[in-house]
Amino acid sequence: MNHLLSLFLIVVISCFLKVSPIQGKNVLSYDVDTDTILTKQDSLALIVLEIVSLDQGIRDPFLQEEKKERMPSNVEHAIDTLCFNKAVDFIRKYGWPTKELLGRFWNYKYIGCSFTPIMLHACHRMKEKDVHDLLVNEVKKGRLSAVACAYFFDKYWVIYQKKSMYNSPFKQWLPQKGVLKEDKTESDILMKEIGLSPVPDIELIENPSIIGH
């Protein structure tokens, strides 16, 4: 079953159940006569699955092959923006998705790490202070991995600032492939903010433009 079909089924099921996870009830029951119940955790998991299904659905190789063409970049960007906004809104209300928050559906497909690709697909948004502060706060609360957060932030630095501040694997996209010595002070502050150790001096890189002179 492809991702878009999964998303369609989720929407249909949600309408059928006539439930709202925002209401904060502990148990949400079906309208039909059955012993099956939908918990608040299940309801939140459905929201997460809906968001990530849309994010991954536009990248589904099967769908791309069927259409014989890639999704137009402007459409993909619009969907990435929509998914990112929905994910951020979810985090503000409930926190970063965790096993405790989502319960039994935590291990279903990619729900457990579902927001990771969404953050990476919209890494240009990491420059926004409210987004930056939100994710840092999730790290401090123990819901988001500091390493994952560093990946999100560093992808922005690498792509848009042409430098690495968190020494993440994205540094491989740069000519210098590491944190520059001249950026050590700023890098140390950013790493400390999310509880990571500074990049060891021995791993710092000389600026290639300086070496060439």
pLDDT at residue 43 greater than cutoff 60: yes
pLDDT at residue 180 greater than cutoff 50: yes
Between CA 75 and CA 79, with CA 78 as vertex, the angle to 5 degrees is 90
CA–CA separation, 116 and 120 (whole Å):
6
Q: Are residues 2 and 12 in the same domain?
A: yes
State the sign of the Cα–Cα–Cα–Cα dihedral 78, 84, 85, 86. positive
Question: pLDDT category, 74, cuts 50, 70, 90?
Answer: confident
104 versus 68: which is more confidently predicted? 104
CA–CA separation, 57 and 109 (whole Å):
14
Question: Which of 57, 90, 121 delimits the end of a domain?
Answer: 121
- Per-residue pLDDT at 32: 33
pTM: 0.77
Could you tell me if 48 and 102 are in contact, meaning their C-beta atoms sit under 8 angstroms apart?
yes
- Per-residue pLDDT at 167: 97
Domain that holds residue 113: 1-121
Question: Which of 99, 121, 143 delimits the end of a domain?
Answer: 121
Encoded tokens for 68: 């014989």
110 versus 82: which is more confidently predicted? 82
Total structural domains in the chain? 2
Q: Are residues 137 and 95 in the same domain?
A: no
Question: Which of 80, 106, 121 delimits the end of a domain?
Answer: 121
